[in-house]
Amino acid sequence: MRPSGGTLHVDGHALPRYSRRVRRISALGLMDGVNPLDERLRVREHLSEGLLLRMRPAARSLADEALAAAGLDGLDRTAPVRKLSMLERRRLVVALAPLAEPRLLAVDDVDGGLSPEHQTELWRTLKRLARTTV
């Protein structure tokens, strides 16, 4: 989308002029209607796809680290996405985005469809991710 006015800089890059540079340093997490999980796939298939989209080699442990950082270290990777709870789905999307090692992670409607308790848990996870790198 083109802005109608004003200026925006992301990590020192003016938009929209340097939008390609911004796309290289950013990832989408939790953008309903933009990057939905495929419910027919299993968790491990989403992880494999995320690692392939990196377009560069990754340590085998990167997916494990991403799941742990999102609070999913005990998640059954053979589980189909349709069997996951809403909180697990939201956490999985959060875990997939850092596989590309972005400096910026954009999220939207973080707490949609979650109970107040789960909203708090997910916000804590995002705050923890903001302080660490995967």
C-alpha to C-alpha distance for 70 and 92, rounded to whole angstroms: 7
At residue 1, the pLDDT reads 66
Taking the CA atoms of residue 81, residue 87, residue 88 and residue 91 in that order, the dihedral angle to the nearest 10 degrees is 110
Rounded Cα distance, 15 and 51, in Å: 28
> Which residue in 100, 70, 69, 97 sits closest to 84, CA to CA?
70
pTM score, whole prediction: 0.78
Alpha carbon distance 122, 69 (integer Å): 11
Give the pLDDT of the chain (134 residues) as one tens digit per residue.
677 888 889 889 998 889 889 888 887 776 777 778 899 999 999 999 988 887 778 887 899 999 998 999 999 999 999 999 999 998 998 888 878 878 888 888 877 888 999 999 999 988 888 887 54
pLDDT at 134: 46
Query: What are the residue boundaries of the structural domains of the chain, listed by start?
Result: 28-103+114-121
Provide the pairing of β-strand 8-10 with 13-15. Answer: antiparallel
